[in-house]
Amino acid sequence: AELKKASKRLTCHKRYKIQKKIREHHRKVRKEAKKRGRKKPKKDPGVPSAAPFKEELLREAEQRKQRLEELKQKQKLNRQKEHEKRRKLEAKKNAAKIKEKAEGKDSSGKSKANINKMLDKNSKKSFCWELRKVIEASDVVLEVLDARDPMGCRCPQLEQAVTCSGGNKKLLLLLNKIDLVPKENLEKWLNYLKKEFPTVAFKSTTLMKDKTMEQFTRRRARVDSSRPTVCFGSSCLLKLLQEYGKTQNRPIQVGVVGFPNVGKSSIINSLKGLRVCNVGLTRGVTKSMQIVHVDKQTRMLDSPSITADPSNSALALALRSIIHTEQSGSADILEGVDAILNHCSKQEVMMCYSIPDFRNSEEFLTLLAQKRGMLKKGGVPDTENAAKMVLCDWTGAKISYHSQPPGSQTLPPYLTEDKIAEMQKCFNLKSLEEGNNNTVQALKYPSPASSIIFQSAGMTDGTIEENKVTEEASEWENMETSKEGEEEEEDFTESGDDQDDMEEEENDVEEVTRKAKLGKQLMSPTDSEEQIAESKGSHSVPFTSDTKPDEDDAYDFNTDYV
């Protein structure tokens, strides 16, 4: 939304005061002029008739005037020649572009290449390929789970790929964000998960900055903010990995994997003690494998997020899929918020967001938008931004909610007792349990009353193999076409400005007509603007009606009214 210009209205008191000051100033100036006396500007007396060589002096003055006029004309001609050269060059460029389009060698080929590059880097297939690289290169795979919904963060395809790989690969589970769940709930989940895989309780650092970043307090004391805040569970995890490395008699590589926003990069930063991996609230920040040396014996491999399978439930897709809130359509975001609200208690959500009772998700979002001041033009609640904020709250570390572990322990089909024993082999489970107990006792937890009870949807299916991924390139193509359209508009306006400058120097009347023509052209929508409108329209919510917009006011002669 464009900002309105500030009003230039003044109060009457202020306006009259200004007028009075101006009158006083003028009076003062007149007084001073009277004292000094008026001095008329002196006229040029010219050459006196009695002066010798009068005719020669007048001739020299005329010659000077002629020289100045000639210089001006030469400068004007040079400018015109330069403008003509520019015009010819632009005409040649335009002709070359038209030929390329006719021959099929248009710049659209370049744009398609750029789209392919973007897709290669940001596509789900590249994420799967990088994730596969991390799994193959690592000796220990560390699956990161959000402590608020550990079962929803588990990927059966990943666990099956690691356990059935045939090599000496180990799988560890890491419960992150343990400070956002009640203590009793955390202990239940640790007891449940350790029966399948070795599980580590962890609380990563937040608000960590780069080495180069420094803050200055009000007293000008230099504070080094590159050092992390308090981290819990890092010593226990490092000890476990170092002991496993000693049993192997070689340096080990630990791959950190998981769904988006579970804190994979934050864990590596916590273990290293510095911000070496990029982190952010948006999903899908990490796009390729990154190697970080924690010490001489252990290397951490950061990986992109697991891509959630589209066949999952709406709740799993809302919390675990890579949804770019800026690019995705409002329908997906609203559906995700609706799924979250359906899986938790209404009263607890009302207490958390401190809003009155609501009937459905739309009313919840309107009430939340009004409370947070998210309003569009005319005071209309901005439900889309409110929905984006809710999704960020639930995937980030802002809201405390917890899910209960299943009542009975049922092993997945790919896990047997032999596989469990194989995964627990070479790990010191006693020291792991002691470290987890120390971590649990050291932290402060929210009370069960302040935490929202959440119903988990179970394990989330993910796609690890590249062949099973379905790409969605339409968003990138729309973004690229909109960029091309903007560049075409800029070229058009620049050429128009050059032509206006030429017409100013040649003739004032032609300048006015040229500006009028340009005004008409700018008033009419260009092709690039239509492309931008189409690309924006592709992200909007589809709205169907019985009648077409062109036929609203049309009269149907086939219907007869009695």
Does residue 296 share a domain with residue 235?
A: yes
User: Identity (one letter) of the amino acid at 398?
Assistant: K
Q: Residue 148: what are its φ and ψ, rounded to 5°?
A: -75, -30
* Mean pLDDT within 202-223: 52
- List the CATH number of the domain containing 391: 1.10.1580.10
- Number of domains forming the structure of the chain: 2
CA-angle at 235, arms to 229 and 241, nearest 5°: 130
Q: What is the mean pLDDT of the chain?
A: 76
> Model-level pTM?
0.59
127 in Cβ contact with 459 (< 8 Å): no
**How many percent of the chain have pLDDT more than 70?**
72
Eight-class DSSP state of 262:
S
CA distance 285 to 262: 12
Does residue 416 share a domain with residue 269?
A: yes
Eight-class DSSP state of 304:
P
The separation between CA 450 and the C-alpha centre of its own chain, rounded to angstroms, equals 31
Picking from 372, 349, 341, 451, the residue whose alpha carbon sits closest to that of residue 404 is 451
Does residue 282 share a domain with residue 246?
A: yes
What is the number of other CB atoms lying within 10 angstroms of the CB of residue 79? 14
Q: Is the pLDDT of residue 460 over 90?
A: no
Q: Which residues of 506-530 are buried (b: 16+ CB within 10 A; e: fewer)?
A: eeeeebeebeeebeeeeeeeeebee
More confident residue, 94 or 493: 94
228 in Cβ contact with 208 (< 8 Å): yes
Give the domain range for residue 321.
314-395
* Mean pLDDT within 80-103: 87
Does residue 232 share a domain with residue 157?
A: yes
pLDDT in tens, 307-326: 888 888 888 888 887 665 55
558 in any annotated domain? no
* Mean pLDDT within 46-71: 87
User: Identity (one letter) of the amino acid at 95?
Assistant: A
555 in any annotated domain? no
pLDDT of 7: 87
> What tokens appear for 501 in the block?
């400058």
Eight-class DSSP state of 182:
-
Q: Residue 536: what are its φ and ψ, rounded to 5°?
A: -70, -40
CA distance 293 to 268: 10
Does residue 298 share a domain with residue 440?
A: yes
- List the CATH number of the domain containing 277: 3.40.50.300
- Mean pLDDT is highest, among 106-120, 124-138, 187-201, 539-553, for 187-201
223 in any annotated domain? no
Does residue 340 share a domain with residue 192?
A: no
430 in any annotated domain? yes
pLDDT of 15: 94
Q: Are strands 290-293 and 214-216 parallel, antiparallel or unpaired?
A: unpaired
pLDDT in tens, 422-431: 888 888 888 8
Q: Residue 276: what are its φ and ψ, rounded to 5°?
A: -105, -20
199 in Cβ contact with 191 (< 8 Å): no
Reduce the DSSP state of residue 216 to 3 states and report it: strand
* Mean pLDDT within 124-130: 80
Does residue 428 share a domain with residue 356?
A: no
**How many percent of the chain have pLDDT more than 90?**
15
* Mean pLDDT within 332-353: 87
532 in any annotated domain? no
Can you name the residues that pair with 144 across neighbouring β-strands? 174
CA distances from 531 to 330, 381, 469, 484, 525 (A): 20, 29, 29, 9, 10
pLDDT of 114: 52
556 in any annotated domain? no
353 in any annotated domain? yes
Picking from 259, 257, 289, 260, the residue whose alpha carbon sits closest to that of residue 126 is 289
Specify whether the backbone of 99 is left (phi greater than 0), alpha (psi in -120 to 50) or beta. alpha
Does residue 341 share a domain with residue 287?
A: no
Q: Are strands 290-293 and 298-302 parallel, antiparallel or unpaired?
A: antiparallel
CA distance 107 to 103: 11
Does residue 329 share a domain with residue 291?
A: no
What is the number of other CB atoms lying within 10 angstroms of the CB of residue 28? 10
Outline where DSSP puts E strands in 462-543.
462-463
pLDDT of 514: 46
477 in any annotated domain? no
CA distance 237 to 172: 10
Specify whether the backbone of 177 is left (phi greater than 0), alpha (psi in -120 to 50) or beta. left
Which has the minimum average pLDDT: 205-209, 391-395, 444-448, 525-529?
Answer: 525-529
Q: Residue 28: what are its φ and ψ, rounded to 5°?
A: -65, -40
Q: Are strands 252-257 and 222-224 parallel, antiparallel or unpaired?
A: unpaired
Tally helices (H) and strands (E) across the chain. Answer: 19, 12
More confident residue, 491 or 386: 386
107 in Cβ contact with 141 (< 8 Å): no
pLDDT of 366: 92
What is the number of other CB atoms lying within 10 angstroms of the CB of residue 554? 9
User: Identity (one letter) of the amino acid at 172?
Assistant: L
Does residue 426 share a domain with residue 288?
A: yes
* Mean pLDDT within 187-196: 90
Outline where DSSP puts E strands in 9-116.
none
Describe the crossing of helices 361-372 and 330-342 by its angle, rounded to 10 degrees.
100
Does residue 350 share a domain with residue 204?
A: no
What is the number of other CB atoms lying within 10 angstroms of the CB of residue 442? 11
CA distance 315 to 307: 15
Does residue 253 share a domain with residue 128?
A: yes
Which residue is listed with tokens 């919840």? 364
pLDDT in tens, 22-47: 999 999 999 998 888 766 677 777 78
* H-helix or E-strand spanning residue 300: strand 298-302
Within 8 A by CB and 6+ apart from 121, the residues are 287
pLDDT in tens, 258-277: 988 888 888 888 888 888 88
Reduce the DSSP state of residue 254 to 3 states and report it: strand
Q: pLDDT confidence of 72, banded at 50, 70, 90? A: very high
Eight-class DSSP state of 381:
B
* Mean pLDDT within 215-241: 63
User: Identity (one letter) of the amino acid at 496?
Assistant: G
pLDDT of 283: 67
Q: pLDDT confidence of 461, banded at 50, 70, 90? A: confident
Specify whether the backbone of 255 is left (phi greater than 0), alpha (psi in -120 to 50) or beta. beta
144 in Cβ contact with 400 (< 8 Å): no
